Amino acid sequence: MRGLSWRNFDFLLLGAVVLASTFGVMMIRSAIAGNEGLLPLGNRQIYFVLIGLVVIVLLAGIDYRYWLSLHWPIYLIMMIFLLALSGLGQAAFGAQRWFTVGVLFLQPTEFAKIVVILVLARYFEKSQNDPRDLKWLIKSLAWVWGLVIWILLQPNLSNVIVTMVIWAGMVWMNGLQLKHVIIFGAVGALAFGALVALTISGIRLPFLQKYQQDRIVNFILPDPNATYGSKYNVDQALIAIGSGGLFGKGYGYGTQTQFRFLKVRHTDFIFSATAEEFGLAGAIIVIAMEAFIIWRCFRAAQKARDLSGAMIAFGVAMLLFFQGSANIAVNLRLIPVSGLPLPFISYGGSGLMSLMVGIGLVESVTMRHKSMDF
């Protein structure tokens, strides 16, 4: 091991993460205030944040290459976990997305996204001198689908999309040929078109839940006879955001949030709760915090000493960006409801922890960058 200097640790990144998580804890407390059953969640999130910060420091101290060398065991263990939760594992464990460990629910899917980043980083480094042909592309896809197939079978479409976006970003950065972009784009568009067409014509697809299919249809073709429940959540989110105005109604005074018109307000719609209580100003601060964290990840990617490090940081940046913008876009009714959390702010132990692991890896990359400090 070379001389490790904590001077290279990205304190700004850590600071932004602490800030965002703290803000998240605060918003969760406001969001659950009206519901006694949810009250313990506020403190639980604090523990997750504290544990997560320890994880970041620990991971920063360990060279990320160590994990790359262990990619096979990590990959296989993750696959076993996902398998247990997938259709095949249902008989044994029941249809769940999490494992119960003591009082905690562990969602392997969240960690699977980090594993995909690790595995792809290692693959692209190893293959960096290979021609960017179809074989190179398909091999990278094979690594991804080894895990993603089980996520799809859960079924958890949102996270499949997240993983595929990370993959797409990474192959793009590694010199994906434009003709392949066109081919994949065409195939993707066709598949999506077929999905929509089939859903509209009422044919159930095997790997989608009915509600997921309905959400897609509802979004593309709003049903004029839509029942009370199907658009309710998003409608209330829009009212929450819009009524927040420039500076919001004040912390704890959002009528949509406090009187529970806004649903799943501590997870999926926490952005709406923020926008209601802190207005446009608060919403922009949240977006700025997220953007700052992502920017520090891109910065780490550029400074990384090797391609795998760059790819890890880039992958984490992609993960954060896509998940964050997808969540906000759902809140703003720009895309169908996906169930993706807002990074560092939404409630959820596994989600937060996997992101903390990601940030820890990025810190590890930053600390070992190539510049000469002496």
Partner 1 sequence: MSSHAVPRNSRFETWRLFVIYGVIVLILTTLLGRLISMQVFDSQSYIDQAVENYTKEISSPAPRGIIYDRNGFILARNAASYNLVITPAYVPDDDADTQRIYREISTLTGVPVNSGTLEEAKLFAPCVEGPGINQLVALGDSLAPYTPVQIKCNISENVARLVSERSVDWPGVGVEIVPIRDYPTGSLTANLIGFLGPIPASLEQSLRAKGFVPNRDKIGYAGVETSLQEVLAGVNGKRVIQVDVAGQELRNLEPPIAPIPGYNVTLTIDTRLQAVAEASLLQEINFWNRWFYGNSGQQRISSGVVIAMNPKTGEILAMVSYPTYENNRMSRFIPGYYYNQLSQDPRRPLLNNAIQSEYPPGSVFKLSTANGALNEGVVTTSQIIQTPGKLELCEQFTPNEPCIPGQNVRPFVDWIYNIRGVLNPAGFGTLDFLRCIAYSSNVCFYKLGGGYGDEIKQGLGIFRLGEYARALGYGAASGIELPGEADGLIPDPQWKRINQGENWSTGDTYIASVGQGYVLATPLQVLMSGATMANDGKLMQPTIVREVTDSEGKVQTVWFSPTDFTIWVPRTVSDDRGNTTQAWFNLADSTIVKQLPAGSYQISPFTANMKWDITTDPRIAVYNCEGGNCIKTDQKKTESPSVVKSVQAGMRLAVTDPRGTLYAIYSERYPLPIAVAGKTGTAEYCDDVALKANRCQFGSWPTHSWTLSYAPYDNPEIVVLAFEYNGGEGASVAAPVVARVLKAYFELKSIDLAKNGG
Instruction: Give me the residues that bind partner 1 (CB under 8 A), please.
Output: 34, 124, 128, 169, 172-175, 227-228, 236, 238-246, 255-256, 258-261, 275, 279-280, 283-284, 287, 291, 294, 298, 302-304, 306-307, 310, 321, 325, 328-329, 332, 334, 369-372
Q: How far is the CB of 274 from partner 1 (least distance, A)?
A: 11
Q: Which is nearer to partner 1, 106 or 239 (CB)?
A: 239
Is 123 in contact with 140 (CB distance < 8 Å)?
yes
**Residue 35 burial (CB count, 10 A):** 12
Question: Residue 133's closest CA among 122, 143, 141, 145?
Answer: 141
Q: How far is the CB of 370 from partner 1 (least distance, A)?
A: 6
Q: How far is the CB of 278 from partner 1 (least distance, A)?
A: 10
Q: Which is nearer to partner 1, 83 or 329 (CB)?
A: 329
- Output b/e per residue, 90-99; b: 16+ Cβ within 10 A: eeeeeeebee
Q: Which is nearer to partner 1, 55 or 280 (CB)?
A: 280
Q: How far is the CB of 48 from partner 1 (least distance, A)?
A: 26
Q: Which is nearer to partner 1, 52 or 169 (CB)?
A: 169
Residue 245, by phi and psi: left (phi above 0), alpha (psi -120 to 50) or beta? left
Q: In terms of residues, how long is the chain?
A: 374
Q: How far is the CB of 282 from partner 1 (least distance, A)?
A: 10
Place of tokens 């290459």: 65
Question: Residue 300's closest CA among 363, 372, 358?
Answer: 363
Q: How far is the CB of 254 from partner 1 (least distance, A)?
A: 9
Q: Which is nearer to partner 1, 147 or 304 (CB)?
A: 304
Q: Which is nearer to partner 1, 89 or 282 (CB)?
A: 282
106: β partners: 99
99: β partners: 106
104: β partners: 101
